[in-house]
Amino acid sequence: MSNITVCARFRPLSSKEKKDSRDNICISSLNSESFVFKEEKEECTFSFDKVFYEESMQADVYEFLALPIVKDAVKGVNGTIITYGQTGAGKTYSVEGTSILECDEQKKGLLPRVVDGLFECIKSADELTKYTVKLSMVEIYMEKVRDLLDLTKDNIQIKENKMQEILLSGVTEITISDPEGALQSLSVRQSCLITLSYSTTTTLLIRLGHLMWTEMNVGSSRSHCVYILTVQLESTTDKRVKTGKVILVDLAGSEKVEKSGAEGKVLEEAKTINKSLSALGNVINALTCGPSARSSHIPFRDSKLTRILQDALGGNSRTVLLCCCSPSPSNALETLSTLRFGMRAKHIKASPLVSRREDRHAKKHEDITLTKDESCDRILNKLRERLDDEDVRLLEELFILEGLFFDANSVEDVESDYQDVTSWTISSLQQTVEELIYTFEELKDKNKALKARLAYAERFDAMSKKNEDNAGVLFKMSGIISLLFSWAGSFFPLKMPS
């Protein structure tokens, strides 16, 4: 079990920052892993697995962060790369470069380099292994998961399979056979870039992956974007199948409303972004706040972002986090927040496993292999036997819109729903148990206080009874003394003086 890899990257100063701060920066390099952060009120040293300063190249970031994950994916191990930081800190540039399709070699981002690296690893692999590479791409916008390869699917559901792996139910997967085809498909997120006039000096950018102008960033992404590359390896000798995934997550940037000037719909987007990033921070805290924390509730279900990242943060993935920062003193507080987030994430433990299974379906049903379309037709034919054609047609349209069709020979969707209900039930039971323990402790304290009060009351009653007994004895003694005086008086009468 090892910690996730956390790196920091500082972009060059923008022209505005140079004008405002006169080339001053808030960091001082110590070496390739450590630096001193300087702020008006404090000065502290940070250490990460690697620090990429302003002069670092895109290739350096890829070779240190992504290349080991690409090599492991071809061996059947999942890997996740996450970019985190304030808006305008260079996250999207690190992931995509200036452009996915048209970009010189030096400026190519992680995404096109990962695609090239996957196919290079496949070419040099064992000839007895058959490879299939598939691509999915979604964005999380206003807490809805949207399929960027099929825009009609704008509310993808997140589920778990029987192996407790996170799946995007009904998401579009396209098979890619070469880097060029993959990059062509990936460029969908940039292909709908529209340039509109925005006053006389500013350009407003809108694209398929929601973008908006703010005072902090001309092209501020308003959604989290997730790229999923799945590599399936099938041995032609023993029919064993291994699956590895490379997931790249380009997070939307956190921002302070007073600095970004957001209002209206942009303000609501900013609130949703900050809320999901806060949920991510809560998950990080829950995973790193002590040895007992892993056995307690981890709030992965608090947002769509943390749910999708459950495998990456929960342990079954080789995960790297790239903290993108601005070196400008004007952004010192945001940079400090990003660095502290990275320091907490360094303590997360990961245990990536090889995803391997036997192709039992192929052994049991070698002569019967139904495609998804054939399975859907089979369902519809059964419905036609019981319903009118018009009813079947309406049901078919409804099922297609909702993405409810599944393989009739598989219960994977049912098991996934069962796993969701089971996980929710376990979480609820854990919370109930914690509440019961708290209530029990409260009752225990109250019982202790009542016992103390009862003991005091018993002691008071005993003392009162003893006092009553003493008073009775004194009364009896006074009676006897009076009787003695009376008796003595009868024998020795007092003579009055004459």
Is 90 flagged in the annotation as binding?
A: yes
Is 349 flagged in the annotation as binding?
A: no
Residue written as tokens 């307690």?
Answer: 296
Q: What is the DSSP string of 129-181?
A: EEEEEEEEEEEEETTEEEETT-TT--SPEEEE-TT--EEEET---EEE-SHHH
Paired with 35 in beta bridges are 29, 46
How far is it, in rounded angstroms, from Cα 245 to Cα 8?
A: 24
How far is it, in rounded angstroms, from Cα 406 to Cα 404?
A: 6
Q: For residue 135, give both structure tokens.
A: 């691509």
Is 134 flagged in the annotation as binding?
A: no
DSSP 1: -
Angle between helices 110-123 and 179-186 (to 10 degrees): 160
Q: Three-state SS for 212?
A: strand
Q: What is the DSSP string of 242-263?
A: EEEEEEEEEPPPB--HHHHT--
Cβ partners under 8 Å of residue 346, min gap 6: 3, 4, 6, 48, 49
Candidates 400, 395, 370; CA nearest to 382 is 395
Is 281 flagged in the annotation as binding?
A: no
Is 86 flagged in the annotation as binding?
A: yes
How buried is 8 (Cβ within 10 angstroms: 0-12 exposed, 13-18 middle, 19+ buried)? buried
To which H or E segment does residue 442 belong?
Answer: helix 412-491
Is 88 flagged in the annotation as binding?
A: yes
**Binding annotation:** 85-92
Binding-site positions for ATP read 85-92
